[in-house]
Amino acid sequence: MNKNIARFVEVVRYKNGRNRIRHNSNNENNIYALLKEFGYRSCTLDNRRCYFLKKENELVSVSFLKIKDRFHDFLKNQEYLHLPDDIHHFDIMEWYYGKNPIKETRLFKYLMTDINSQEAHKLRLITDAYYKHNNKIEILKNQLIEWGFIKIKDAGSNICKHAPLYHKNIEANKYLVFTHFVTDIKYADGFDCWLANFNRKTDIGKKPPVYLKHLKLSFDLEDDFHLIQKYVN
């Protein structure tokens, strides 16, 4: 990584001994190249402009201002090399504050990269709350089926009436139950987790349980798995 300050600024020296710091399009390109070496990238995702930091297989969503701040810190912390003897550090900072060398449109184009489907998925998870919500719902639904839960409609048990109900027998007449609530309101749905006893398996979804205890309302698979681990392993 070439950190020579001459790559990012041009020094104009006048006959009267005064100096002026400025930059041209080549200096701008070198600034963008430095930020790219730091790992910053841009892409278009679902018609949205996205910036992110790529570290090996990890993607971190960042803003345009965050990227600008990284170059600001590069200058402020004097990470650059080979500052001429007749130029002071405050001259460099004065140039940066006065000239604002990083332009968003140019930066976006310079950092533009193609992303694969896995990277697009990761970016959606960290930039789109609705996508993340739906992804969590689908993962839990699929996991319940994989664990052997049976899906029916709660027609009369009144745990969550008319909602999808997933049940798994854990001992005798005792069941672990998940109800998928508010499925008719987009992005407001979720799962509640219960322990329930029914007189007969055929009563599930048709009659109220003889015993009902909630394990976790608004169950989150990552945070709350420990509550059901002994029942599904």
70 and 87, same domain (yes or no): yes
- 150-153 and 58-62 strand pairing: unpaired
User: What integer pLDDT is reported at residue 56 of this predicted model?
Assistant: 83
What mean pLDDT is predicted for residues 93-120?
96
Last residue of a domain, one of 111, 127, 143: 127
What mean pLDDT is predicted for residues 141-145?
98
In this predicted structure, the answer to whether residue 1 has a pLDDT above a threshold of 90 is no
Phi-psi domain of 76 (left: phi exceeds 0; alpha: psi -120 through 50; beta: other) = alpha
19-68: per-residue pLDDT in tens? 999 999 999 999 999 999 999 999 999 999 999 999 888 999 999 999 99
* Residues 6+ away with beta carbon under 8 Å from 71: 31, 34, 35, 102
11 and 121, same domain (yes or no): yes
In this predicted structure, the answer to whether residue 90 has a pLDDT above a threshold of 90 is yes
Alpha-carbon distance of 215 to 233, in angstroms, equals 17
91 and 161, same domain (yes or no): no
User: What integer pLDDT is reported at residue 5 of this predicted model?
Assistant: 98
10 and 38, same domain (yes or no): yes
In this predicted structure, the answer to whether residue 122 has a pLDDT above a threshold of 90 is yes
Last residue of a domain, one of 92, 127, 162: 127
Domain containing residue 67: 5-127
107 and 144, same domain (yes or no): no
Count: domains in the chain = 2
pTM of the model: 0.84
